Amino acid sequence: MRAVYASAINPDDPLAALTVGDLPAPPVPDGWVTVDVKATALNHHDLWSLRGVGLRADRLPMVLGCDAAGTGPDGEPVVVHSVVSDADDPRGVSLLSEHYPGTFAERVAVPRENLVPMPTGLSFVEAACLPTAWLTAYRMLTTKGRIAEGESVLVQGAGGGVATAAVVLALAMGKRVYATSRVPAKRERVEALGAIGVEPGARLPERVDVVIETVGAATFEHSLKCAAPGARVVVSGATSGHLPAVDLRRVFAMQLEILGSTMGTRAELVELLDLVVSRDIHPVIDRVYDLAQARDAFAQLAAGDVFGKVVLTLG
């Protein structure tokens, strides 16, 4: 089958470890089923895998990808929840493409319970954007950030998949949303979505109740300074560095909560799909490539020249 996979580990040049070619169909353990993939989306997790973060050399070659929408074993349209129970992982779970082959292929094997019916009103391309970045953003805002208790949100690093999803979802929930970006054009795009674009480090007109943090060292001090008393600073990434300086006086004086978040549950994915359909939300998509163009798609993601999601399609 056609697949996009890690054929090596290269911390310094991840694209050099990427291969587009043919691999055998994935094994199907008991209780698992096969999905014919119609569309799948890129995430920074895929670049980290090529660098060897979360992926060991003894698991190569490994099909990359966490997101998928396609047809299930009975021909029904489905969205794949890519979190798999894994007793060998210290987290108790792993994502597809870490221990089990991922979604950048014509077919992917998953536990049957990981299939979620794809709602009408969504295309395969739109649905493929939701199970990783959008699910992560949804959990950050709701389960972790308890957005219902607040009225304002700061999203750091607008343009990335999680950040853009958080902007759209928070706006759909009726919240005031501030979003930072170093790039004026990206600030203009978040403003077109309905958010307030601000430069990194800029003073906000108010302290916010929830901060969505995926950037890390470059923005973390700003995140803490912008947080209202009792605010939740929810972290799911550290693209600019994972060791920020933290002023603990601000944390305890303002009674801030710093919360880690990764992906989400199947139940949360169902909630997200319901929200997207009921509010007529459409994922922000930067560009769609054919699977054969995966190297170009990875190069775009690695360069940071993205606003929203980059999607791969299979005929």
Cβ atoms < 10 Å from Cβ of 174: 8
pLDDT of 178 strictly over 80: yes
What is the C-alpha to C-alpha distance for residues 6 and 2, in angstroms, rounded to an integer?
A: 13
Of the chain, the percentage scoring pLDDT greater than 90 comes to 96
- Please report which confidence band the pLDDT of residue 93 belongs to, taking 50, 70 and 90 as the band edges: very high
What is the reported pLDDT for 169? 98
Q: What is the pLDDT of residues 235-263, one digit of tens each?
A: 999 989 999 999 999 999 999 999 999 99
What is the reported pLDDT for 87? 85
Handedness of CA 108, 113, 114, 118 (dihedral sign): positive
Q: What is the pLDDT of residues 26-43, one digit of tens each?
A: 999 999 999 999 999 999
Q: Find residue 111's DSSP bridge partners.
A: 32
pLDDT of 170 strictly over 80: yes
Q: What is the pLDDT of residues 64-75, one digit of tens each?
A: 999 999 999 999
Cβ atoms < 10 Å from Cβ of 78: 24
Q: What is the pLDDT of residues 200-237, one digit of tens each?
A: 999 999 999 999 999 999 999 999 999 999 999 999 99
What is the reported pLDDT for 253? 98
Q: What is the pLDDT of residues 101-143, one digit of tens each?
A: 999 999 999 999 999 999 999 999 999 999 999 999 999 999 9
Looking at every residue in the chain, the average pLDDT score rounds to 96
What is the reported pLDDT for 19? 98
pLDDT of 315 strictly over 90: no
Handedness of CA 248, 144, 140, 176 (dihedral sign): negative
Are 40 and 128 spatial neighbours (Cβ–Cβ below 8 Å)? yes
Of the chain, the percentage scoring pLDDT greater than 70 comes to 100
- Please report which confidence band the pLDDT of residue 89 belongs to, taking 50, 70 and 90 as the band edges: confident
- Please report which confidence band the pLDDT of residue 88 belongs to, taking 50, 70 and 90 as the band edges: confident
Cβ atoms < 10 Å from Cβ of 1: 14
What is the C-alpha to C-alpha distance for residues 145 and 134, in angstroms, rounded to an integer?
A: 15
What is the C-alpha to C-alpha distance for residues 178 and 167, in angstroms, rounded to an integer?
A: 8
Q: What is the pLDDT of residues 180-195, one digit of tens each?
A: 999 999 999 999 999 9
Closest C-alpha among 261, 260, 258 to residue 224: 258
